[in-house]
């Protein structure tokens, strides 16, 4: 499933921030770059603030009530002071941003992820989720064709299916 740039890569960055937790700056930047961001570095203080922002993103993935999810995203949008404008940086064609290029890395990342989650919650709110395996708290953006993903990876799904199969054999 392809989303617009904010609902897709920005939401993937949001999921990555949640899943990485309080990771070092280098790991955070590597994840963001893998998702298509052009951010080159974060200071240790910025990384700590970015990780705190990731903590605020987690409830959006686990909240099943769409109205509550919308309220959570609206809080993030207000706190990130999102204000759309057209940007042209790094040799890229003109494209939409939610924070100016002069804003610091944290503000840009907050606006990017809040905007991305807002697009996704408006377009496909059921595409945000938390792994259904007990004990796993990994979040994901469901990009599958049918939109019925329940687990973060096939490994988690297999663990659940094998355990269910063994339980049926014991009970049978």
* pLDDT tens-digit readout, 104-114: 889 989 999 99
pTM to 2 decimal places: 0.86
Q: How far apart are CA 7 and CA 117, in angstroms?
A: 6
* Whole-angstrom distance, CA of residue 123 vs CA of residue 3: 9
pLDDT tens digit sequence for 49-90: 999 999 999 999 999 899 999 999 999 999 987 677 788 877
User: What dotted CATH number matches 6-171?
Assistant: 1.10.3300.10
6 pLDDT exceeds 60?
no
Q: Contact 28/51 with Cβ under 8 angstroms?
A: yes
Predicted confidence at residue 3, as pLDDT, reads 54
Distance between CA atoms of residues 161 and 116, nearest Å: 33
CB within 8 Å of 44: residues ≥ 6 apart? 25
- Under a CB-based contact definition with an 8 Å cutoff, are residues 54 and 65 in contact? no
Average pLDDT (26-41) is: 93
Check residue 126 and report its DSSP letter.
G
Beta strands in the chain (DSSP E): 85-87, 95-97, 128-130, 139-141
Span 39-45, average pLDDT: 92
Give the DSSP H/E element, type plus range, for residue 17. Answer: helix 11-20
What span, in angstroms and rounded, lies between the C-alpha atoms of 82 and 123?
19
Residue 73: count other Cβ atoms within 10 Å of its Cβ.
23
pLDDT at 84: 78
Contact assessment for residue 15 and residue 141, using Cβ atoms and an 8 Å cutoff: yes
């Amino acid at each position: 499933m392809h989303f617009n740039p904010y609902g897709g890569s920005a939401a993937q960055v949001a999921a990555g921030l949640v899943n990485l937790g309080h990771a070092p700056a280098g790991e955070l930047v590597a994840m963001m770059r893998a998702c298509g961001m052009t951010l080159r570095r974060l200071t240790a203080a910025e990384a700590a603030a970015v990780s705190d922002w990731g903590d605020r993103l987690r409830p959006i993935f686990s909240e099943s009530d769409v109205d509550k999810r919308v309220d959570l995203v609206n809080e993030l949008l207000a706190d990130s002071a999102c204000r759309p404008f057209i940007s042209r940086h790094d040799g890229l064609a003109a494209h939409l941003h939610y924070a100016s290029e002069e804003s610091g890395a944290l503000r840009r990342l907050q606006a990017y992820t809040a905007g991305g989650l807002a697009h996704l919650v408006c377009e496909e709110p059921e595409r945000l989720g938390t792994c259904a395996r007990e004990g796993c708290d990994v979040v994901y953006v469901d990009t599958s064709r049918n939109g019925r993903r329940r687990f973060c990876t096939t490994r988690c799904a297999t663990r659940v299916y094998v355990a269910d199969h063994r339980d049926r054999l014991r009970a049978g």
